Structure 1
Amino acid sequence: MTTTGQEWWRTAVIYQVYPRSFADGNGDGTGDLKGVRDRIPYLAELGIDAIWLSPFYTSPLNDGGYDVADFRDVDPRFGTLADFDAMVTDAHAAGLRVIVDIVPNHSSSEHAWFKAALAAGPGSPERERYIFRDSEVEGEPPNDWQSVFHGSAWTRVEDGQWYLHLFDSTQPDFNWENDEVRAEFLDILRFWLDRGVDGFRIDVAHGMVKEAGLPALGAPQSIEMLGTTKAPYFDVDGVHDIYRTWRPVLDSYPGERMAVAEAWVESPERRAMYVRADELHQAFNFDLLMADFAAADYRKVIDAELAINATVGAPATWVLSNHDRPRHVTRYGDGETGLARARAASLLMLALPGSAYIYQGEELGLNEVLDLPDDVLDDPTWKRSGGTDRGRDGCRVPLPWKSYGASLGFGNAGTWLPQPPAWAELSAEAQDGVEGSTLELYRTALRTRRTHRPGDAVTWLDSPSDVLAFSSGAIRCVTNFGGNPIPLADLGTLEGDILVASGPVQDGTLPANTTVWIG
């Protein structure tokens, strides 16, 4: 493996692959596991430590694969189990570990268990695997909970009962009070660990357990994943009992297998509970992803995360973009300014203690695609919101690998979502070997990070209010969040060689929206 030594995940840089949009190996317009396998040399050259694969399981793809019909098989559109095994073998041979998504909060309505539940009827053991309830008021849902994807979180079946789905109606929630459900997922973990995966990203890790009695909120309100307030369906304390049963399974396998939580919770203190010594290994810090591009906002997030994680001995886990959120080039202003800020933010993130996650295409400086035609939108939020919420398709557009062709090198056919023509100039081919390109910035930063490791903490250095300067391990990092260039000499303690810069640094002056590492 590329990352060696004890607890590799503490400092790893992990690259998220959204298989449907990464690379098309069989020419049908949809990305697949063969496409991932073909691009392993690219990923190894980039300098990452591990790949995280979003779901590739058997699924009707009503929610991009997060509606799983069979947790132990590959959807034919993505390939076969043999393709998966070959991809893992090649990744390991290239020094890359492989993490897969696991979706324990819900299944697809096409799952055999849910079909059996519908057939068996009220009060049956089959229905106890999910959350079915009767109406308290005839014709009304059992409570006022709303779906993350808009509309009611309840759907009525023919016999009059209702089932809970915090997401789409095709994604019924499991009942985690049921012993069969708990045993099933322990077996699913072992199935993929036996196939050689190095860990799991746990979807909706703060879900699964609901408060006893499913208490109403008092007024209908859309469920938010952001975790800004406590709710009876997310971050209920009982979820930690589940992870205490998962951790021994992970620990029983050689090679330091790990798990990272997608846990949108109301505070760093609540998030740290997921990474206590007998639970999970990492939990994403979404506070940095949600922060404005501002020195004060970044410092507040960094200080809080490092301080709280230190109390439980867990590493910080940073992320700026993923398959659920607009790309940070666009969040930071789009165009030249957005790209400059995104490059600066990414270089700062990679200098921080802990582990960092990169979303496919951010190493190319890709922007959010905001002008997808209505008739191609696939995210369930688009349909459930009545066309008022365009959903997450804009960050899931297939990657541009070449500067020409109908799919810009994505495959031999078209693409399931259309690519902007301007992406030809951002393709991996167009940026390969080009000094100053975003791709070469990431390659240089990741290569430098191996030889100049961040430490376990940061020491803040004196700087103006719109600048952050800190040292961590062998790196001293300075980011100019302001609108004016700043002479590095004015910062006093930063003499040394420039190791990496997110933008041109001339005559010792750090431009606006730029980060530099000094050795």
Structure 2
Amino acid sequence: MTPTWWRDSVVYQVYPRSFADASGDGVGDLAGLTARLDHIAGLGADAIWLTPFQRSPQTDHGYDVSDYTDVDPLFGDLAGFDALVLRAHGLGLRVIVDIVPNHCSAQHPIFQAALAGDPSARARFHFAASPPGRPGDPPNDWPSVFGGPAWTRVPDGSWYLHLYSAEQPDWNWRDPRTAGFFDDVLRFWLDRGVDGLRVDVAHGLFKAAGLPSLPPGAIPSPGRLRGNPLACDQPETVEVYRRWRAITDSYAPPRALIGEVNLDPHRAARYVGDDRLHQAFAFEFLIAEWNATVWRDTATRLLRHPPVTWVVENHDVVRTATRYAVGPDEPRPSQAGTSRAGTSRAGTSRARAALLTILGLPGAAYLYQGQEYSLPEADVPVAARQDPAWPRSGLSRDGCRVPLPWPDGFSPPGAAPPWLPLPPGWDAHLSSPTLPLARRAITLRRALRLPSEDTVTWSIDHDQRLIAHRPDFALVVAMGTDAVPLPPGHVLLTSDPLTPDGLLPADTAAWITPAA
């Protein structure tokens, strides 16, 4: 196995509860995933990343872990996980699992002991009293990423910190026992044969010493942990990954560490290096509007800090076919509204072009399940929404988490209804031309063997014609309103057909190599 496979891999993200249900309870599971690994291998992906499947009350759908070294019965058991890894490796797929070190479940045994008043257990979390002279007030004014305060009071009058839901207390990384605890968690999954670990909220972990209140006038917006610099990106956090890198490098071949470091690129780059994380997600493209200047400037910032991990979809954001379906003067969609569910012809074309773009840039590309069909955001009825952020902030991520509409069904015949309702006609997306496009692009990408360290220069002309120039390769994206001419060269692939006179239509991408 290539030790640096992670540099330019295509990784397919699996949200297990929405991928495939083998048990018939309406919730996806490991057995369902194992049975459909051929689909992912058939795309040409190099690896799969599984969001959490460990034991959990599922308040935040697995990101509230109550046992880090077991499989939640909802998804199967450890034997089923081992079978999945064996099958994946047999198909040439590496396996990346999620680790959640910033917080755990309120049902975790150590936190339960803390709630019962055990002072040793309380030291493992952030318990604090109300400020002097302000009985009944929380210890500071930090907000939760999910909305509302980041503190919950317990019967004895003290408070505990949770940067997400009240059911997700934050570990205290200033307690030395926390580091040793997670060393054991990492080794448990690495010993079971996983090839990499994706680190949730990797820039969190340490909080500012003393837990001070925010500066006057500072109001972090919901959903953006980086807006509270006291609650993340503390200098001690990087040292955790030096420790973890020593662990992953002790395995043969070395295993990869991929961080969810949702910071500005120059700050995120501090977490990546030969003795730290291997990669950090390039989050800027998740919020970049469909505009040539924005994409050029965003990619330029990201490419200053290689290696880059490109991603335009995941389980936390509106799907691209819907996100890009707005005109230049319309408000961009968010998870808050239902009117922005669905898509348009332009949105679907832009989603395909975005897919071809991230596959054509140097570095790794992460695809989210359903992206190969250009699935749109689903309009999940309010009564059916399950995202814990919804009642606290009015933001819901459920629309991008609706189960996949497999030709023979998400669940076996006679199964319980899916955990989120499938919109009428959801299976019609299976005929999307994006699927053959994704297969061809990934196959061609591998055949081209373009170096992940390629330099890129950019140009914009001809009504928002964006060109990324790499040595012996060019990516062209028509981001304006009109079809544009292609630069000289051999057209390898386009996300939509060229016009009869050979122009690149609006909202379309192309790969070009020099003419022979």
- Partner residue in 2 for 1:177: 174
Amino acid in the other structure paired with 2:402: V
Residues 409 and 25 (structure 1), Cα distance of their counterparts in 2 relative to 1, 3 Å cut:
closer
Q: Distance in 2 between matches of 1:246 and 1:32?
A: 29
CA RMSD of aligned residues (A): 1.8
How many equivalent pairs are there?
490
- Partner residue in 2 for 1:97: 94
**1:486-508, CA deviations, whole angstroms, 9 ceiling, x for partnerless residues?**
122xx3xx222x22110011332
Q: Distance in 1 between matches of 2:253 and 2:505?
A: 44
Is residue 425 of structure 2 the alignment partner of residue 414 of structure 1? Answer: no
CA drift at 1:465 = 5.4
- Partner residue in 1 for 2:473: 475
Q: Distance in 1 between matches of 2:128 and 2:254?
A: 41
- Partner residue in 2 for 1:499: 492
Is residue 329 of structure 2 the alignment partner of residue 336 of structure 1? Answer: no
Alignment equivalent of 1:392, drawn from 389, 397, 409: 397
Q: How does 1:7-22 map to 2 (within 5 A)?
A: 7-22=4-19
**1:176-230, CA deviations, whole angstroms, 9 ceiling, x for partnerless residues?**
0011111000110000000001111111111010011111014684554546646
Check conservation: 1:145, 1:223, Cα contact below 8 A.
no
**1:420-457, CA deviations, whole angstroms, 9 ceiling, x for partnerless residues?**
12322112xx45xxxxx111010010011001133322
CA drift at 1:304 = 1.1
SS of 2:428's equivalent in the other structure is: helix
Residues 423 and 234 (structure 1), Cα distance of their counterparts in 2 relative to 1, 3 Å cut:
same
CA drift at 1:411 = 8.8
CA drift at 1:475 = 3.0
Check conservation: 2:225, 2:231, Cα contact below 8 A.
no
Q: Distance in 1 between matches of 2:377 and 2:412?
A: 19
Q: Distance in 1 between matches of 2:383 and 2:444?
A: 44
Q: How does 1:45-444 map to 2 (within 5 A)?
A: 45-121=42-118, 124-136=119-131, 137-217=134-214, 218=216, 221-222=219-220, 224-226=222-224, 229=227, 231-265=229-263, 267-307=264-304, 309=305, 314-333=306-325, 334-370=343-379, 372-385=380-393, 389-402=394-407, 407=410, 412-427=415-430, 430-431=431-432, 437-444=433-440
Q: Distance in 1 between matches of 2:124 and 2:495?
A: 51
CA drift at 1:410 = 9.8
**1:257-288, CA deviations, whole angstroms, 9 ceiling, x for partnerless residues?**
111111111x2110100102211000011111
Q: Distance in 1 between matches of 2:405 and 2:412?
A: 6
Check conservation: 2:145, 2:224, Cα contact below 8 A.
no
Q: Distance in 2 between matches of 1:129 and 1:91?
A: 36
Give the % identical residues: 49
SS of 1:15's equivalent in the other structure is: strand
Q: Distance in 1 between matches of 2:449 and 2:458?
A: 17
TM-score, with normalisation over the residues of structure 1? 0.91
Check conservation: 1:398, 1:410, Cα contact below 8 A.
no
Q: Distance in 2 between matches of 1:410 and 1:221?
A: 50
Amino acid in the other structure paired with 1:244: R
Residues 115 and 408 (structure 1), Cα distance of their counterparts in 2 relative to 1, 3 Å cut:
closer
Residues 411 and 162 (structure 1), Cα distance of their counterparts in 2 relative to 1, 3 Å cut:
farther
Q: Distance in 2 between matches of 1:424 and 1:56?
A: 26
Q: Distance in 2 between matches of 1:320 and 1:40?
A: 22
**1:25-70, CA deviations, whole angstroms, 9 ceiling, x for partnerless residues?**
1111000000110011111001100000000011010001100000
CA drift at 1:323 = 0.5
SS of 1:129's equivalent in the other structure is: coil
Residues 445 and 412 (structure 1), Cα distance of their counterparts in 2 relative to 1, 3 Å cut:
farther
Amino acid in the other structure paired with 1:364: Y
Q: Distance in 1 between matches of 2:412 and 2:498?
A: 34
Residues 261 and 147 (structure 1), Cα distance of their counterparts in 2 relative to 1, 3 Å cut:
same
SS of 2:123's equivalent in the other structure is: helix
**1:320-345, CA deviations, whole angstroms, 9 ceiling, x for partnerless residues?**
01001111111101211100011111
CA drift at 1:472 = 2.5
CA drift at 1:240 = 0.7
Q: Distance in 2 between matches of 1:219 and 1:293?
A: 32
Residues 219 and 114 (structure 1), Cα distance of their counterparts in 2 relative to 1, 3 Å cut:
farther
Q: Distance in 2 between matches of 1:129 and 1:20?
A: 30
SS of 1:284's equivalent in the other structure is: strand
TM-score, with normalisation over the residues of structure 2? 0.92
SS of 1:515's equivalent in the other structure is: strand
Q: Distance in 1 between matches of 2:43 and 2:510?
A: 19
Unpaired runs of 5+ residues, structure 2, are 326-342
Residues 18 and 174 (structure 1), Cα distance of their counterparts in 2 relative to 1, 3 Å cut:
same
Amino acid in the other structure paired with 1:377: R
Q: Distance in 2 between matches of 1:228 and 1:65?
A: 22
Unpaired runs of 5+ residues, structure 1, are 432-436
CA drift at 1:6 = 4.0
Is residue 37 of structure 2 the alignment partner of residue 40 of structure 1? Answer: yes
SS of 1:100's equivalent in the other structure is: strand
SS of 1:318's equivalent in the other structure is: strand
